[in-house]
Every structure is written in C-alpha cells, then in structure tokens.
C-alpha cells in the first residue's frame, strides 16, 4: 500500500535526524501530515472557487 511505502521512505530519514518513533507514533504523525495536506488542498480549492464566483 501507499502508506507502507511512505513508512519505508520516512523511517530512515527520521532515524538520520536522531528521532526514533514507535510505529504508532510514526503512523499518527504521518496521518496528521496527510490530514493537514488534504485540509490545505481543500482550502485552496475553496479559495479558487471563491475567485471564480
């Protein structure tokens, strides 16, 4: 799945920074980041719609 691919990419990067997360913490962090990204996209979409009106 896409999520597992993200984990494989992110875990080494996080370890390099010296931050060690448990899988649950990492999952929460990723979910938050994904939700924020989706939220930003929705806001941008709404802004574009408002500009068209």
The pLDDT score that the predictor gives to residue 4 is 60
Both tokens of 25, joined, read 């913490």
In angstroms, the Cα distances linking 25 to 2, 8, 10, 37, 44 are: 18, 15, 13, 18, 28
Mean pLDDT of 20-49: 79
Q: How confident is the model at residue 48 (pLDDT cuts 50, 70, 90)?
A: confident
Mean pLDDT of 23-40: 82
Burial-class residue 12 by CB neighbours within 10 Å (0-12, 13-18, 19+): exposed
pTM for the model = 0.40
Would you say residue 19 has pLDDT above 70? no
Q: How confident is the model at residue 33 (pLDDT cuts 50, 70, 90)?
A: confident
In angstroms, the Cα distances linking 49 to 3, 36, 38, 41 are: 30, 20, 16, 12
Domain residue ranges of the chain, discontinuous segments joined by +: 2-52
């Amino acid at each position: 799945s896409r999520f597992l691919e993200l984990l494989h990419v992110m875990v080494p990067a996080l370890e390099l920074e010296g931050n060690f997360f448990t899988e649950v913490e990492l999952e929460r962090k990723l979910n938050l980041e994904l939700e924020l990204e989706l939220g930003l996209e929705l806001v941008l979409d709404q802004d574009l719609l408002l500009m068209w009106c």
